[in-house]
Chains A and B, each alone.
Chain A
Amino acid sequence: MRELTYVEATLEALDSAMARDPSIFVVGEGIGERGGNFNTTVGLYEKYGPERLCDTPISERGFVGMCAGAAMTGTRPIVDFMFLDFILDAFGELVNQIAKMQYMSSGRLKMPILLRGAIGIGHSAATHHSGSYYPIFAHIPGFKVVVPAIPSDAKGLFATALQSDDPVLFLEHKSLLFNRGEVPEGDFTIPFGQARIAREGADCTVVAIGSMVDKAVTVCEKLAEDGVAAEVIDPRTIAPLDTATILESVHKTGRLLIVDETFQPCGVGAEIAAQVIDQGFDDLDAPIRRLNGAHVPTPYSPPLELAIVPEQDDIEQNIRDLLAE
């Protein structure tokens, strides 16, 4: 099968949908002629023109609010935040308007808005360009939160997001954007709330999120040489969360590690652990472990940056500790 980068995969899905559906348009900084800071809209300006690829000033709250209004009128806005960190400037519009509008209108108004941005730590982007924040959005009722880990998932989930009548946060880790992988041609969708088993195994379950999936798979391949069969699960969407697949895996293995770059307190790992304790207590053979990025603002210094992100060695040590419990 042909290979595409992660960002090319989403671009393919976006291009196809825009060709079909004239109500889709993109707003953001540098997404017009420039084609997006991360190449998310390369070539689309030439095809669809400035009205559907609308460059904006630096005014997140303004254009997010505008897109919320546009979505209510029946269009499909895509807000491209470039770095997701700047979504925080529009937090009030997101939580108080976008997430609640369908509820407040008793379903009479839809909110088909796609909010995308690059997340994650890497490349010394420093503290204002390294955030992920998805646990915050998964906490709010009304949002779908998507964190694809591989190019083919990025394409299929992006296509699903473009069909959703609910607001979707589509979060692309910077370190994944230019990874290559096999991507099917033509249109296809991957449903939200369906985890992917990235690697099968019966000794322990590793739930890895976003950029941690590839790292976990690499570590587990290495551990297989020592006779350890670890299963790696990529939830693909945080909201909705596929707890059934995780529970199924823990039923098999009895041991669970959750690897996530975002902060540990009140995070996705805590939620998964609580769900497993709640519904799968009798399957647990060991305490649930979590491995997270450090609970600190992201440093600029490359060695410090490296130190706060879970790396392969950390994952390996955590799996070994989990098996020794």
Chain B
Amino acid sequence: MAYEVTMPRLGWTMEEGVFGEWLKQDGDEVQAGDLLFTVEGDKATQEVEVFEAGILRLSASAPAPGDVIPVGALLAYILQSGESMPAESSQAAPADSQPGQEGTVPQKAGVEPAGQKRLASQRVTADGRGTPAISPRARRVAAELGVDWTQLTGSGRTGRIVERDVRAAAETVVEPVGVDMSPVARRMAAEAGISPEELAAIRPGGRIQREDVEAAIAARRQPVPASETAAQVVAHSRIRQITAQRMAESARTTAPVTLTTEADATELVALREQLKSSYARRGLAVPSYNDIYLKLTAAALQEHPVLNASWGDEGINLHGEIHIGFAVETERGLLAPVLRNVPAKSLRQVAAESANLIEGAHQERLGSDAMQGGTFTITNLGMYGIDAFTPIINLPQAAILGIGRIVCKPAVHEGEVVPRQMVALSLTFDHRVVDGAPAARFLNTVREYVSEPVLWLTG
């Protein structure tokens, strides 16, 4: 079970503490007794140890240094391997609670149309308190006997329908009003707060059927303003929560700068066409543009290791290996599976592995390890017709490369204006980790590699 790390009470009177810093990082493996974070007291900074071994995962509301945190507030989780973070503070859609309505409106399975609910709440009985009150027992007995209690008059002291009223109604099959209605129509009308008399006016002398009630409900619902019916809260999915947390944390903690440039992708397009036909002929996974960009980017990162880095409290972590994450849009949301050791793999291997990862992402069967450990990320919006954009850095990485669409347009090539296939490249880097000039040099290398892909793919 996920173990909750909370703000400890360090003295009898302590109600909140100033969060110092994490002594372990998100994703670190911790042992019981390890020092996990610091809390700043009046005179000293206290180091707080963890009582459980596992993997530290910071919660969405993880504090930043200097935050004042109430005692007992959730800071992080200690998870066991394979365990995922519990959904935090599941913000259920706020109940549409109108005073006096709860428990007095007949509850149907599923969601009641807003208009119908609204109308039901307007129904007023003799005592002026809305639909009649009913005791829990009477409600239970009514359900057992199949009695529609909404039409009953209660004999309790305050007009409450009690058990005896329900039993009396069950014994005498009462027709509360002289309108001929089918049972379904009667129930629907009661729930919608439409009186039998009103329905009788629609179909004088005839038996009121379900359709008549539906028509009456529809007629009533029309005046309800759209703003009242449109209110909807989509509960946060796990992926939404994680994405929100990561993006917000990145936006809050990094110093992002985005550089854009344009590369001539004419040769790249030609190469892709060639690969397409020859790979397809042999029944191999055809490398996508993305796969080619992965290889080219990896080559550029080898050239500029300062971009294959991440921010650490102790210093800049320069990564020995190049693991590149790439953004995949799925029905559930954005995922970024990681392709490991890209330079060591041939384009054919990259194509096969990335196809696997993408399929896994769509089928919801990627483990969290398949999405961790990246040292750089690529995101491609070319298929959506986008040129340049400002991607958000995938923490704790130093940079992310955004790739736009390949578009044929006039360009100067060897001194002449000719139609060329051009692609926009957007590099967002964390200025804490790397400065503008090295980032620009890296992006320029990517641009060169994109324009001469064969050279670098075969190198």
Contact = CB atoms under 8 A, between A and B. Distances in A.
Whether chains A and B associate is: yes
Interface of A: 254, 281-286, 321, 324-325
30 contacts: A254-B135, A254-B137, A254-B162, A254-B163, A281-B136, A282-B137, A282-B139, A282-B140, A283-B136, A283-B137, A283-B140, A284-B135, A284-B136, A284-B137, A285-B135, A285-B136, A285-B137, A285-B138, A285-B162, A285-B163, A286-B135, A286-B160, A286-B162, A321-B157, A324-B156, A324-B157, A325-B156, A325-B157, A325-B160, A325-B162
Contacts of B160: 286, 325
Interface in B157-195: 157, 160, 162-163
Which of A281, A284, A286, A324 has the most chain B CB within a 10 Å cutoff? A286
Contacts, number: 32
Interface residues of B, number: 11
Q: Which 9 A-B pairs have the closest CB atoms?
A: A285-B137, A282-B140, A285-B135, A254-B137, A285-B163, A282-B136, A285-B162, A281-B136, A284-B136
How would you classify the secondary structure of chain B's contact residues: helix, strand, loop or mixed? Answer: helix
A282 B144 CA distance: 12
B170 to A, nearest CB: 15
Contacts of A285: 135-138, 162-163
A284 B160 CA distance: 12
A284 B163 CA distance: 9
Contacts of A286: 135, 156, 160, 162
Contacts of A324: 156-157
Which of B135, B140, B163 has the most chain A CB within a 10 Å cutoff? B135
Given A283-B136, A285-B135, 13 more contacts: A254-B135, A254-B137, A281-B136, A282-B139, A284-B135, A285-B136, A285-B162, A286-B156, A286-B160, A321-B157, A324-B157, A325-B156, A325-B160
Contacts of A254: 135, 137, 162-163
Interface in B11-67: none
A65 to B, nearest CB: 28
A250 to B, nearest CB: 9
Contacts of B162: 254, 285-286, 325
Contacts of A283: 136-137, 140
A324 B162 CA distance: 10
A254 B139 CA distance: 12
Interface in B114-159: 135-140, 156-157
Interface string B303-319: 00000000000000000
